[in-house]
Amino acid sequence: MHRVAVRGTPVAAAPLTWGQHAIWAAIGRTAPNDHYFNLTRVLTPPDRCRPLPVADASTRLGAALSRHPTLRTRIVAAPKIGPLAPGGPAHQEILAEVGVAVRTVTAVDDAEADRAADILATELAGTAFGYENEAPVRAGLVLVGGSVARVVLALCHLATDGHGADILLRDVRLALLGRTGPPPGDPLAVATEEMSAAGRARSDAVIGTWADTYRALPPSMFTTARAEPQPVRWWVGRLTSPALGLATAALAARHRTSVSSVLLAATAALVAADGGGDRAAVLTIVGNRFDPSRRDLVATLSQEGLFTLDTAADDFAGLLRPAWRESLRAYRSGSYDQAALDEALAAVSAERGTTVHPMCCFNDMRLVDLPPGTPPTAEQVHAARADTVFTWAPPQPQVACRFCAHVTADGPALTYQVTGDTRYLPPARLEAFVRALEDLVVSAVDGPAPLARLRSAVVAA
């Protein structure tokens, strides 16, 4: 193991940004299992810079990390207010220099390097960061024949969101080639805008929309306890499906919408069917990079948006355009002062005499929505169904929601990962949920996909 220095201009103490505060609050709800929020990325060095000596890789890695001030962030927390909660308002400092430990492991060839990198990423992200005394990035190198075959990063979610992690990976790739990316932007400008009069007014308007919507929602989307929870309570299932990727692309092209909103519509239909109602509410993660000045920031900008949908249609196709419109509204509701929103929603719960929270979330983690080229045919979609794979990932002891969906892409395939509270979604039901979602979307490509069939599948699960 060795260390690389990450250097830059120090910044005096400042409040957390809205996105950081949202993650800080989530950490408090999830601790001591807060490593759940850590991000990982693996990079294969470009052929043009291989063989790559360890010393050169480390120097260039340090240069790439040094471009981004948030990777020198130290969080200074207020005193704890409970055994799990990290405390009230915290602030952050951006230090002049931090040291990042770099672990090295060896592999005999490229195939083993992939497996070693996956294991190393899991290990690097397997414990919570020391928010007050540790750099918010951990690194590792996988060596084959003494040269670097993989670069592995684990990142603290307080320093960056998933999109920012991909930007950082791009900059590391460029640094290995001796190049630099576009100017990364100024994370301090985000905090300045949020604290301005215009930022406060924008936040107040968004919070008002959330509060009004919460007054009309069912208290939760998952209210029926169906089993004794498993010893490790939150199970994680992954459906990897080329057919789902092709089907969502075909439907998005046909209905002039996006793959993400097709998946949101299917998720909402599934969630509503669990409770037997026609109204779904899902917290969807909004990237908040619509402003070009924020596009290349390695920072935590994402927050939850509020997506609601009336699912009373007879056929799934009838949800797709409404879901597109509602997803746009959700994106507009995804930037706000988290502490002020929490206070406003707590007041709504007090008004109603019950806690109001959807208890389900959706995070489309892909960078590109629609694949290029001609939309796939129904024949291609159904042929790909044979390659669907469902697997279980390690369960989690503490998650703040009862149902969490994460979408990633691997070539044409989509992976729809669900984390479910086994008190409300026992393992068999959780697997049936994602298989029913795939069936709904795939069947909609070449004919009607009655939502009644989805409700029947959910009831039978």
Beta partners for residue 392, in sequence order: 237
135 and 226 inside one domain: no
pLDDT at 290: 85
Q: Is residue 324 part of a domain?
A: yes
Give per-residue pLDDT as tens, 98-148: 999 999 999 999 889 999 999 999 999 999 999 989 999 999 999 999 999
Amino acid occupying residue 22: A
Q: How far apart are the first and last CA of the chain?
A: 49
What percent of the chain is modeled with pLDDT above 70?
97
pLDDT at 351: 97
Q: Is residue 383 part of a domain?
A: yes
184 and 251 inside one domain: no
pLDDT at 83: 41
Which of 188, 203, 225 terminates a domain? The answer is 188
CA 395/CA 455 separation, integer angstroms = 27
Q: Is residue 197 part of a domain?
A: no
Which of 154, 188, 222 terminates a domain? The answer is 188
* Alpha-carbon torsion, ordered 202, 206, 212, 218, to 10 deg: -170
Q: Is residue 195 part of a domain?
A: no
Instruction: Please check the confidence at residue 368 and state whether its pLDDT lies above 90.
Output: no
Determine whether 288 is exposed, middle or buried from the number of CB atoms within 10 Å of its CB (0-12, 13-18, 19+): buried
Mean pLDDT score, 274-289: 90
177 and 229 inside one domain: no
Give per-residue pLDDT as tens, 154-175: 999 999 999 999 999 999 999 9
Q: Is residue 26 part of a domain?
A: yes
Q: Give me the domain span that covers residue 230.
A: 213-460
Separation in Å, CA 385 to CA 253, 330, 388, 391: 20, 31, 6, 16
Give per-residue pLDDT as tens, 394-435: 999 988 899 999 999 988 899 999 999 999 999 999 999 999
CATH code at position 104: 3.30.559.10
184 and 258 inside one domain: no
Q: Is residue 242 part of a domain?
A: yes
pLDDT at 81: 42
455 and 409 inside one domain: yes
